[in-house]
Amino acid sequence: MKKHILITSLVLPFICLLAWVLFLTITRNTGSEITVNIAGYDPRDLLSGHYIAYQIDWDHTDCTQFDGNVCPKKEFCKEAHWGRQCRFYIPENQAKDLNNLFVMRFHNNLKFEVVYSYRKGRTPIAKKLLINGDEWQEYMRNKKL
């Protein structure tokens, strides 16, 4: 009996995390793709890695992508003191260059967008970060950054 409890308690966290990953994968793959315009804050780094902290610029987002042509603002991102804050995680080795691009986006006339997998009633999952319509990795490769 004790052996079963031991094995169950050891394996349970593994199963929970695996189920979470499967759930997120299904949610990401079954949702429809929508693109939102973003305005931002500076990237910060926590133990979980470097990321860009941004807010969705609903005034410049095409709301016809959603049912009833209404943007479901409350379904996106986490509520913070200053509004709804979202994150996009980026690799450490490219964080500085991407940060510079993001901070100087108005000066360089760059448009930052995020592609989400969206399904009504589920938490939207960010899939891609776009710079002037290109995936950010591709944009940086082309610009040799």
Q: Is the four-CA dihedral 93, 99, 104, 110 of positive or negative sign?
A: positive
State the number of binding residues for another protein (CB under 8 A): 37
Which of residues 14 and 82 has its CB atom nearest to another protein in the complex? 14
The reply to whether 78 sits near another protein by the rule CB under 8 A is yes
Residue from 56, 87, 102, 139 touching another protein (CB under 8 A): that is 87
Most distant CA atoms of the chain, gap in Å: 67
Rule CB under 8 A: say whether 6 interacts with another protein: yes
Three-state DSSP state, 143: coil
Nearest alpha carbon to residue 102 among 138, 140, 73, 76: 140
Closer Cβ to another protein, 68 or 89, answer by number: 89
CB-CB contact of 123 with 26 (8 Å): no
List the one residue from 7, 19, 26, 145 that touches another protein (CB under 8 A).
7
Distance (Å, whole) CA 112 – CA 99: 12
Q: Is 77 in the site for another protein (CB under 8 A)?
A: yes
Kindly list the residues in this chain that would bind another protein in the complex (CB under 8 A).
6-7, 9-14, 16-18, 20-21, 24, 28, 45-50, 77-78, 85-94, 125-127, 137
